[in-house]
């Protein structure tokens, strides 16, 4: 490995590290508005659940054989159960901040926390 390569890779590593921290900072920004849990399938919102400390509910998404059980409790959202084999969404830590998402790729399901009065609009949908 040559010196130039090490430098380029080092810079790349730093840039992605800064990018990752940037994404985290945007998500951690305190929001004033009412937070909401959006459950989307193939980009379409199929369920909205208000997210407060008191919300305590679960929602079962079904699409043929595929299913995900989404639980909202203590101001946090997590996926309790899923039909997919990799279980990445189930192992994902609970989310509670604006812009945070849990994605279940096999079931094409996105669970995201959304706040209406957010200045930085990073939520967008590909049409």
Partner 1 sequence: MRESTLKTRQLVFIAVLVAQGMVLSYIERLIPVPFIVPGAKIGLANIVTLTAICLLTFKQSGAVVLLRILLTASTFGSLSSFLYSFSGGVLSFFIMFVFSRVFKNDLSLMTISIIGAITHNLGQLLVAAFMIKSLLVLGYLPMLLVVAIPTGIFVGVVAKFLITHLERVQLQK
CA angle, residues 49, 51, 55, in degrees to nearest 5: 85
Listed ranges 28-36, 40-48, 51-59, 74-82: which one lies at the site for partner 1 (CB under 8 A):
40-48
Q: Give me the DSSP letters along 83-119.
A: SSSS-HHHHSPPB-STT-EEEETTTTEEEEEEETT-S
Between 18 and 48, CB nearer to partner 1: 18
Report in angstroms how near the CB of residue 96 gets to partner 1 at its nearest: 16
Between 69 and 88, CB nearer to partner 1: 88
Between 44 and 54, CB nearer to partner 1: 44
Q: Footprint of partner 1 on residues 87-116 (CB under 8 A)? A: 88-89, 91-92, 99, 101-103, 105-106, 108-110, 112
Closest CA to 93 of 105, 76, 68, 110: 76
Chain residues binding partner 1 by CB under 8 A are 1-2, 5, 8-9, 12-13, 16-20, 22-23, 27, 40, 42-44, 85-86, 88-89, 91-92, 99, 101-103, 105-106, 108-110, 112, 122-127
């Amino acid at each position: 490995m040559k010196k130039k390569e090490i430098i380029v890779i080092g810079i790349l590593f730093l840039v992605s590290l800064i990018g990752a921290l940037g994404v985290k900072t945007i998500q951690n920004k305190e929001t004033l508005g009412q937070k909401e849990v959006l459950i989307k399938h193939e980009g379409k919102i199929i369920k909205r659940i208000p997210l407060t400390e008191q919300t305590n509910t679960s929602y079962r998404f079904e699409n043929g054989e595929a299913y995900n059980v989404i639980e909202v409790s203590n101001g946090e959202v997590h996926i309790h159960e899923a039909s997919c084999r990799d279980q990445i969404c189930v192992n994902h830590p609970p989310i509670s901040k604006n812009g945070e998402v849990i994605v279940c790729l096999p079931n094409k399901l996105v669970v995201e926390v959304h706040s209406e009065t957010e200045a930085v609009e990073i939520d967008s949908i590909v049409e």
